[in-house]
Amino acid sequence: MSEFLESVDPSTGAVIGRVPITPTDAIPAIVARAQAAQPAWAELSFEARGAKLAAAVDALLAEADELGTLIAREMGKPVREGIGEVRAALAGVRDTLREIEAALAPEVQETAHTRSTLFRDPYGVAACIAPWNFPLLTAHDQVLPALAAGNAVVFKPSENTPLVGEAYARRLLEHLPEGVFQIVHGAGPVGRALVQSDVDLVVFTGSRETGRSILEEASRSFKRVILELGGKDPMIVLDDADLDAAARFAARSSFRNAGQVCVSTERIFVTNDHHDVFVRKLVEEHDIDPTAIRGSGREGRVTKADVLGYLASTQPATTGFDDEARPQEPGVGGGRREQRVPMTRLRRRIAERLVEAQHTAAMLTTFNEVDMSAVMALRKKYQEEFQKRHDIKLGFMSFFVRASIEALRRFPQVNASIDGTDIVYHEYFDIGVAVSTDRGLLVPVLRNAENMSFSEIEKTIADYARRANTGDIGLDELTGGTFTITNGGVFGSLLSTPILNPPQTGILGMHKIQERPVVVDGKIEIRPMMYLALTYDHRLIDGREAVQFLVHIKESLEDPARLILQL
């Protein structure tokens, strides 16, 4: 037997790394170290334990792209899904810790004649055994609550994803006291030895077969066990279902996480009345030529099973690094090769919308510049307190959203739209925020943004960005905006002319903040400056209103107190 676990890229079969297998006879000593470290860890206040765990999670979030790419290489899912798993697992850790603290609080129970208090103490040492399909998400869901509650943890990642387990463990080991968290590697024998050891709790996520074995082994010594066992949940399409939405969900979920997820839609139940319509919509969602599918139903009718079987047989092997066809790099020797790849459905839709905007609106762009000194000073002064209270960083976008709303109040035509020969004035402010993803640009909408606080704006945008990159954002969240803000500055753009998002009549373009010499009170000073661009529909908005609108945003940002006073 090899003394190392080799990590293999499933798309190529190449070995990308290896870790030493933990000898089974070393497990008792590892558990003993955890038992020795656990009492002092449990004696710490919850706040002290939470601070150390939050610091470790912050370090992991700082390398989310690298972790997500590693997940893709070891597990086989697309990179964007790997990064999405990291962010989904680790985002909002301080909110999670507050929920755990509340759950651990003493609970007073009273009857007519008695009064008792229930205290919750840690188990001791928890063995956490994670699966390979969500190697970081499930591991973190096991490890974080156990450690936060005052337990010590011995963690065994899947033998198929040891490098992800090592990367996760490395940050925890850096921030936690020695012995409180330890990692072991290996396949079945190591897991069996861990369950048979003197741990107090076994937490396992994985197959029913392995879960049954763990339960049998743990029952011999009356160990507490928490099992989350896998399966294939059915998708049931009822009579009153939105068939378009159901087909979209089925198409997306069939291959989500490379099909390795308990909610993969491999079993779909549809009522007889809706069967044919649902199958047709499923075919349309996957851009399949219906004549290419051999029907197995009566008189050669195509069934949903035929569609899913066709998709399974024709789905190209993934490299784990993208879900969209990309051109090959030019070969050595200066060959003049070309490669034709189909546009994705999203890219085609983006192209259609851009052309529609050019053909239907009389677009014109006006420019101004804003001194960002006041906003940057405000962020620097209150960033730490803001982040501690709201568990989100204070960014620039919330200032621009609030400044835009105040300007839209003064110039309602910029918040309006044209419907035929009518002008529709919206008395609410649904602000679209452009988000870049691997598949293209998406514009989720902040509904009733005028009622949102700075922290709510920042949290909602962060959530949209995360879900846009994982493909979990809903169609209803991408439609109906009244005004859009886009930030080319994150890519280094100094100046641009943004294109309208029909039927909206205005879009604000933010750009890179760059120090430039400017004249202030007759003196030349170096200030952090940003160019602003407003593209507007000249059919509805005159140049004077457009310029004044942009000036109002500039004044609000250069004197942020105006945002609070709504001036």
The residues that are catalytic are 538, 542
Compute the C-alpha angle 368/370/372, nearest 5°.
160
Query: What is the three-class DSSP state of 226?
Result: strand
| CA-wise closest residue to 42 among 126, 142, 151, 119 | 151
Query: What is the three-class DSSP state of 556?
Result: helix
Site of tokens 């004696």: 43
Distance, in Å, from the CA atom of 47 to the CA atom of 53, rounded to the nearest integer, reads 10
Distance, in Å, from the CA atom of 210 to the CA atom of 232, rounded to the nearest integer, reads 16
Distance, in Å, from the CA atom of 519 to the CA atom of 352, rounded to the nearest integer, reads 44
| CA-wise closest residue to 354 among 462, 486, 244, 456 | 486
332: Cα separation from own chain's centroid: 38
CB atoms within 10 A of CB 329: 7
Distance, in Å, from the CA atom of 324 to the CA atom of 344, rounded to the nearest integer, reads 7
| CA-wise closest residue to 549 among 562, 565, 536 | 536
Strand pairing report for 523-537 and 363-371: antiparallel
Helices (H), 4-91: 27-43, 46-61, 64-75, 79-90
DSSP string, 454-482: HHHHHHHHHHHHHHHHHT---GGGSS--S
Strand pairing report for 440-442 and 435-437: antiparallel
Distance, in Å, from the CA atom of 224 to the CA atom of 201, rounded to the nearest integer, reads 5
Compute the C-alpha angle 60/61/65, nearest 5°.
100
CA atoms within 13 A of residue 315's CA, in its CB half-sphere: 16
Q: What is the 3-state secondary structure (H, E, C) of 239-270?
A: CCCCHHHHHHHHHHHCCHHHHCCCCCCCCEEE
98 within 8 A of 118, measured Cβ to Cβ: no
CB atoms within 10 A of CB 29: 11
Report, in this order, helix, strand and coil percent for the chain, each rounded to 5.
45, 20, 35
Strand pairing report for 181-183 and 152-156: parallel
DSSP string, 480-534: --SEEEEEGGGGT-S---PPP-TTBSEEEEE---EEEEEEETTEEEEEEEEEEEE
